[in-house]
Amino acid sequence: MTVAETSRRSGAFRDRASRWGGLIGRELSTVAITMFGLLLITFLIARVVPIDPVLAVVGDNARPDVYDAARAELGLDKPLWQQFAIYVGKVFTGDLGTSVLTAQKVTDDIKRVFPATLELATLGTLIGVVLGVPLGVLAAVYQGRWPDQLARILGLFGYSIPVFWLGLMGLLLFYAKLGWVGGPGRIGVAWQDFVTPVTGVILLDAAMQGEWDAFWDAFSHLVLPSAVLGLFSLAYISRMARSFMIAELQQQYVIAARVKGMSEFRVIWRHALRNALVPLITVVALSYAQLLEGSVLTETIFAWPGLGRYITNSLLNADMNAVLGGTLVVGAVFIGVNLFSDILGRLVDPRTR
């Protein structure tokens, strides 16, 4: 290798490193600004809502001196900017306060309930992706024909049917009448003590410990609520996949590939779908994030001990530490999933770099 070639390769490597360094720096700056805005909004919400956090701790009949002491202990007697600085400092050390409802640290509560939502949202999103993407592609290819009509009917069904009605009818038919799936809850009462929580994801814990009977029981409880969520995810993903594919199939490169005699399968699935992947990845990521934030109605109907149900119960009981802690987690999930989808999109399509 000559000195000129070595210098040229070294310069190209520096250019790539500089571009990726600038990209990472911009992404981190965006995340930092977004997180700061999220912290500021949650802090202001806690000060605006007509709920006195001191009364939630000491009760309505507390003496004035007890009330003042609790207020000082919570730092509410300090200037607003100082309260915000303390709040940010606690958040970055993992201190989200103590839940009035459970008398435990909010961080511990979220660690306990979030794996249940993660399990439910992951399977629901997988259903939406595995069925929704091919359905959307076929609907775009066969516009106006039965695959397109089927995609539209499923989309309309997914968007129109109320979650609570669909969940209740599913329980009535598949659990109460047919007995095909497990009922409300995450696992049957008989199997609750058979699985030791390690990751919090009960299917994974049961498989790791070899408790296969408990695994299948937990899976039978997971199928119906994840199918309900999967239907709405399928409706959204198939509709967006159809729109993206219609746009791609009208591009000049598709016409040129067909003129050259390339097979229709290769044109659709290897070229058009590949170019539609970048926006489709963002759609799937947003759908996943929406399910991860906690599907309140689904978790309530199926007595699923997840994040959405936890935040709802905390709000109904004026437990603001838990509500704000859960809100921060939801915001962080959206930021993290968006960042991951952006990076994955750049890896899939070099043009976006």
pLDDT digits (tens, 9 = 90+) for 75-113: 677 777 787 888 888 888 888 888 877 878 888 899 888
Q: Which pair of structure tokens corresponds to residue 219?
A: 């899976």
**44 Cβ neighbours under 8 A, 6+ residues apart:** none
178 three-class SS: coil
Cα(247)–Cα(277) distance, rounded to whole angstroms? Answer: 12
Of the candidate ranges 26-40, 114-128, 165-179, 277-291, the one whose mean pLDDT is the lowest:
26-40
Position 347 pLDDT exceeds 80: no
Position 63 pLDDT exceeds 80: no
Contact 211, 235 (CB under 8 A): no
Q: How many CB atoms lie within 10 A of CB 205?
A: 19
Question: Residue range 190-216: average pLDDT?
Answer: 84
Position 294 pLDDT exceeds 70: no
Higher pLDDT pick, 103 / 351: 103
pLDDT of residue 350: 61
Residue 98: phi and psi, rounded to 5, are -110, 135
β-pair partners for 98: 105
195 three-class SS: coil
Cα(83)–Cα(100) distance, rounded to whole angstroms? Answer: 20
Q: How many CB atoms lie within 10 A of CB 3?
A: 7
pLDDT of residue 56: 64
Per-residue pLDDT band at 59 (split at 50, 70, 90):
low
Q: Which pair of structure tokens corresponds to residue 317?
A: 């009981």
Length of the chain: 353
Query: What pTM value is reported for the model?
Result: 0.80
Per-residue pLDDT band at 22 (split at 50, 70, 90):
low
pLDDT of residue 2: 61
Per-residue pLDDT band at 225 (split at 50, 70, 90):
very high
β-pair partners for 105: 98
DSSP string, 283-295: HHHHHHHHHHT--
Contact 53, 76 (CB under 8 A): yes
Higher pLDDT pick, 243 / 320: 243
When the pLDDT of each residue in the chain is averaged and rounded to a whole number, the result is: 81
Question: Residue range 143-159: average pLDDT?
Answer: 84
